[in-house]
Structures are given as structure tokens and as C-alpha cells.
Structure 1
């Protein structure tokens, strides 16, 4: 299957997991892509719910986020190390 299918499956699951209290909530199995990427479902949901609080506009591996900010003159301080490490565990 294509990456687009897995991405859409992940987005659908995220929406369902964030609002289980809403009428029409459909419980579903977590997407295969989370396992393949080595991302804990709890870390993904927390990141989706609290993105603005955890990061300052970008998300990714910690070293890549800091390099991007430096390269694009987005400030000297990187925010979200713990969240980044939870989403992007070291191989």
C-alpha cells in the first residue's frame, strides 16, 4: 500500500482517539504505520493534542529540528526535546 494510504489511516485514527467522548466515536485499531515507525501510540496522541504547547512550529527528530531552526533563522532555542524523543526514538 502507498504511504498516502498509511498517512490517511493515521490521521483518521488520531481524530478518533482524541475525541472518544464525542457521539459517533468509532473505536479502531491503531494504524500499522505507528508500529513500523516505532512510535508509541500515546506519544503520537499527546503530540497531536498538545502540538503548539510542546513545539514551536516544527516537529521532527531533535537534531533535525534544531538544525532547521538554525538554518532558517527561526531563533536559537529549540523547544520540544522530550516530545521529539518520544515520537522519534533513537534506532
Structure 2
């Protein structure tokens, strides 16, 4: 599943595909009631969409102006950002 693309030196995430990928990779205990499983998955899905959208804004605003010419540099730059900064 392709959750993003790399174009013109930018990485942009498709929020819906990213969220689907995150939800499908998250394990939820079968011991929970079905409604709790659904609520947990929905929470994860919506949170993933918000994070992808924040990442895309960050990429457009800050990272495109920086010297992140490689994936390694981009990951290093992201690791220095606090979640609240997104």
C-alpha cells in the first residue's frame, strides 16, 4: 500500500492511505468487545489522518526550506521536531 509519494524533493503523505496502513498494522486484542475494538481502530484512523496532514504542512512549510536533500536528513530533521511543533 503506497501511503505517499516523493515528488520535486518533497515527501507528501496521502492521509487516508496512511491511516489505512496504520490501522491495518495495529493489533487489537480479541478479548475486547467489538464496539471497543471499533472505537479503538477509529481513534487510530482519525489520529493517523491528522498526523499525516500535519506532516504534509510541516513538509511544505519548514522542511522544503531546509537542507533536507536526503531521506536520512529528513528523518533527522523530523526527530528534532516536537509533536506540538507540527
Would you say same fold, with TM above 0.5? no
Higher relative contact order (CA 8 A, sep 6+): 2
Which has a greater percent of helix? 2
Structure with greater strand percent: 2
TM-score normalised to the size of structure 1? 0.29
